[in-house]
Amino acid sequence: MNENLPIPSLGLTEPEAEARFAELQKKLVPLWRSIQSFNQDEQTIVVVPSLTIDFDCSSSELQAYEERFLFLLLLLRQPRARVIYVTSQMIHPNIIDYYLDLLPGVISSHARKRLFLVSPLDASTRPLSLKLLERPRLLEYLRSLIINPDRAHLVPYKHDDTRARLGNSSWHSHVWR
């Protein structure tokens, strides 16, 4: 349940954070154009289906909400696409196999090499973005999975201040080394 959870600070003023977020959004236009059609463009899609729960919910129900974006694994049909999918708990391998087997003309083991499943292993109902912001080493690991930050983008479940902070902490050029 949302009980006015504290949001970790990034050491930025509100105007600085907003400016960085606006800068990141400008990069999305060419990336989305690239995703719209089958191509050879390099891209990394980082899926963070974070949501704030304001009702009683079990960890398995939360997991089901977080797995709603698994259809994005179909982007692995593009040979140079990489998907990093983050959930609070690990996704059962059979579910991943199901989606990868749906890829037309792609050997699922080849797609799996470009799929990275990341989890803080936290079954609480706190927002996933907060769980990540509280774990700098996990954020650093996520950064390490991105080959070219200019060809990467974050897909949140919904945009709010916490998700914007996650984007700012993860995607600004001086952070990605």
> How many residues appear in the chain?
177
Residue type, 99: Y
| pLDDT in 10s for each residue of the chain, 177 residues | 445 555 555 667 778 877 776 776 666 666 566 555 555 778 899 999 988 877 788 888 889 889 999 999 999 999 999 999 999 999 999 999 999 999 999 999 999 999 999 999 999 988 898 999 899 999 999 999 999 888 888 888 765 554 445 554 544 433 333
Q: Which residues pair with 83 in a beta bridge?
A: 45, 115
Q: Which residues pair with 156 in a beta bridge?
A: 48
Reference 131, options 8, 3, 2, 26; nearest CA is: 8
Q: Which residue has the tokens 């003023």?
A: 13
